[in-house]
Structure 1
Amino acid sequence: MAYHLQNDRLSVKIAELGEAYRGTRFDGSGIITGIELNGRHQFCVPESLTPGTGTGGIGLCSEFGIKEAIGYEDARVGELFPKLGVGLLTRPDEAEYRFYREYACRQFETEIEQKSAQQICFTTQPAECRGYAVRMLKNIEISGNQLFVTYTVENTGNRAILTDEYSHNFLGIDGYAVGPDYVLKLPFVPEIWSDEPETLEGIEFKGDHVTWERRPEKDFYFRMDHFDGRAVPWLWELTHHPSGLIVRELSKLPLSSAAVWGHGHVISPEMFFAVHVAPGERQSWTRIYEFSIE
C-alpha cells in the first residue's frame, strides 16, 4: 500500500518498501512514484516504458555509491559489503562493482512513521558489516508547492563512510515526449562532455540552456562541471512549453559532480553530493523541489 502526502497544492505518492522497486541499486525507502500539482499535472515517470527493461527506477529515487560501493574493494569473494538504502550485498566474484548488476542482498530493517498528512519519515537501522554500520533517516515533507527530502546519515560503526548520493529524477511532464517543447536551464554556462558523444545527436546546448531538436530514439547522457549549489538560486530548472509547467531543484548543496541522463520520455538531471562521515559522526542534507506553472 502506498503512502500519500497531501496539501492544497501538491499530492505526493510514496511507495511501500518493496512495492515499486526490488533491485539492489536504488534506496528502497521513500521512493516517490507520483507528484501531482493543482490536482491535474503529473511529473514522475518510470525509467523505461517497456516492461522488463532498465533497472527499475521510477520518479524520484536516490542512489548511494553508483561508481564505487562502500567496502567493495577490500571485500573478498563471498563477503558482504553495505549499499546504503538497500542492504548488505554479497561480492560474487573478482569483477569490479557495477551499479546495474543485481547482487544477493540482506535487506536493512526500515521503520516508517507518517507524522502528518504532509510528512513521513523512514528510519533504516544499522547492520554491522566488517566495521561499517549506518543509521539513516529519510524525511519527506511538503509545504505549498515545494517538496523536501532530508537525509541524515549517522555512522555507528568504526570505519569511515565515504560515498556519494544523488537523486535519479525520472521526470516527464504530463506525459509529453522529450522534444523541442522542453528546456533544461542551468544556473551557469557549463562545459559539457560525454563518454559517448554519439548519444548527443539532436541535443542543442545554447549557453545555459539545453534543448532537443526532436524526440531522442536512444538514451542520452552528458556530464558537466560540478559547482557550488549554495551560491546559485537553483541547481536546474526543467520547463515544458507551451504548458508552462516547471520543476526546479532548489537544493543548497556543494556538488561533487553533475550529469543529465534521459530517453524519449524522460529527462533526469543528476546532482551528486559527497557523503563523508567519520565514526560517531553524522551528516545531513536536504533536496528541495519546486513545482509550478507559468
Structure 2
Amino acid sequence: MTVALALLLAAAAPTGELSNGRISLSYYLPDAAAGYYRGTRFDWAGLVSRLEYRGQRFYGPWYDRIDPAVRDFTDTPDAITVGTNSSAMGPAEEFAAIGYDEAAPGATFLKIGVGLLRRADDKPYNQFRSYDVADAGQWSVAADRRHVSFTQTLRDRGSGYGYVYTKTLRLVAGKAELRVEHVLRNTGQRMIAADVYSHNFLVTGLNTGPDFAITAPYAITNAPPRSAALATVTGHRVGFTRPLTPGERVFMPVEGKGPYDFRVENLRTGAGFTVKGDRPIERVVLWSIRTTISLEPFIAIRAAPGQETRWSYRYRYFAPASRRRPRH
C-alpha cells in the first residue's frame, strides 16, 4: 500500500458523530474492508478522530502521513510519518496478545478488538508488526445522538477462543464528560486474561513543552531516566523542561500507588482533561513527542469460560469559557 493510498483510504473511511450540546466528537467505524484502522495492534472500536469542547480540540491526527513501510513512526523536521499499526487516535486501547507464546508458527493467537491473528514464525510477539488476520469476527454498531456501541462477536471455531466484546462511547447529558464502557463475555473454552491500556493521544495543536503538566493521585516515586531528561518530576506532577523538537521523545514510567485518577492539562491555556477508571492500576507509562502527550494507565482483565467482565473510564474535559484559539 502506498502512502497516498493509505491517506486516501483514511479520508474515505466510514465515520460517525456524537454531541450532547457541550462536547462534539467524531469516531471511526470498525470495518475490515473500508475502515480507517485495520492494523493488528489497537482495538478497532472507539477510535476518536476529533473531540471539541469550548472551541478546544483534544484529539486528532498526531502525525502528518501514513506509510505502511514504517515500523512505528519517524519524526523529522519535515513530517511525522506513522506506520499502519500505530496510526490510532484519541483514547485508543491496546490489549496484550493472548496465547502467542503457546502458538506454533501458522497457528492463531488472540488480540481482543482485532480478532484471531496468525503467528508467522519463531520470533517474539511485536506490537508494531502486522500479522495476518485469520478471523476478525463480526462487528455491529448501535448509535444515537449521545452514544455509540460497537460489538465484536468472535466465535470459537476450534481455537478455544470466543467472546462477545462491546465497547460504548457515551456523552453524559449536560456535562463535558465522555464515558468509555466495556463488557467482555468469554464464550470460548480457554481463559481470557490480558493487560489493556488506553494510549490517550492528546492533541491540542500546541507543542509539547513546559506549559503542560500530568498529575497523578500519588507521589511519583521514580525520577525520569536519562533518556527522558526532557521531563521533570515534582511530587505528584510530571512536567517538561523545554519544548520538544523533531526526533525528541519522553518515555518513562510514572510509578507510585493510588487510584486510577489522572489529570493532563495546559497550565497556560487552562484546558485539559481528567480520567478516572474503576479498576486497580497495574502500571503507568508516559509517552510524548512534540505533537502529542500520551498517559497510558494499564489495568488487568480476566474472564474464565462462561464469565463476563466489565470496566470503564470517565473522561472530563475542561477549558475556559472564552479563549483565543492557540497558534500552531
TM-score in terms of structure 1 length: 0.91
Identity of aligned residues (%): 28
| Aligned twin of 2:164 | 135
| Aligned twin of 1:58 | 89
Name the CA distance, whole Å, in 2 between partners of 1:145 and 1:77. Answer: 47
Residue 118 (structure 2) pairs with residue 87 (structure 1):
no
Matching residue's letter, 2:220: P
**1:11-90 matched pairs, under 5 angstroms:** 11-18=24-31, 19-38=35-54, 40-52=55-67, 53-54=81-82, 55-65=86-96, 69-90=97-118
Matching residue's letter, 2:304: A
Q: Is contact 1:25-1:63 (8 Å) kept?
A: yes
| Aligned twin of 1:215 | 243
Residue 12 of structure 1 and its aligned partner are, at CA, apart by 1.3
Matching residue's letter, 1:293: A
Q: 1:121 aligns with which of 126, 149, 167?
A: 149
SS in 2 for 1:112: strand
Residue 132 of structure 1 and its aligned partner are, at CA, apart by 1.4
Over 3 Å counting, the alpha-carbon distance change for 1:49 and 1:186 in structure 2 is: farther
Name the CA distance, whole Å, in 2 between partners of 1:283 and 1:86. Answer: 18
Aligned residues: 282
Residue 47 of structure 1 and its aligned partner are, at CA, apart by 4.4
Q: Is contact 1:83-1:89 (8 Å) kept?
A: yes
Q: Is contact 1:85-1:108 (8 Å) kept?
A: no
Over 3 Å counting, the alpha-carbon distance change for 1:132 and 1:162 in structure 2 is: same
| Aligned twin of 2:254 | 224
Larger deviation, residues 213-222 vs 257-266: 213-222
Name the CA distance, whole Å, in 2 between partners of 1:193 and 1:111. Answer: 45
1:235-283 Cα shifts (integer Å, max 9, x gaps):
2111113211121102232111111111011110111110111110000
Q: 2:266 aligns with which of 228, 237, 240?
A: 240
Residue 226 of structure 1 and its aligned partner are, at CA, apart by 5.6
Residue 220 of structure 1 and its aligned partner are, at CA, apart by 1.6
1:116-151 Cα shifts (integer Å, max 9, x gaps):
210111110023252111110111100111000111
Name the CA distance, whole Å, in 1 between partners of 2:255 and 2:243. Answer: 25
| Aligned twin of 2:131 | 103
Q: 2:304 aligns with which of 265, 274, 278?
A: 278
Q: 1:166 aligns with which of 162, 186, 197?
A: 197
TM-score in terms of structure 2 length: 0.82
Residue 50 of structure 1 and its aligned partner are, at CA, apart by 4.6
Q: 2:212 aligns with which of 171, 182, 193?
A: 182
Name the CA distance, whole Å, in 2 between partners of 1:166 and 1:254. Answer: 12
Q: Which runs of 5+ in 2 are unaligned?
A: 1-13, 68-80, 321-328
Over 3 Å counting, the alpha-carbon distance change for 1:279 and 1:226 in structure 2 is: farther
Q: Which runs of 5+ in 1 are unaligned?
A: none
Residue 289 (structure 2) pairs with residue 263 (structure 1):
yes
Name the CA distance, whole Å, in 2 between partners of 1:74 and 1:31. Answer: 30
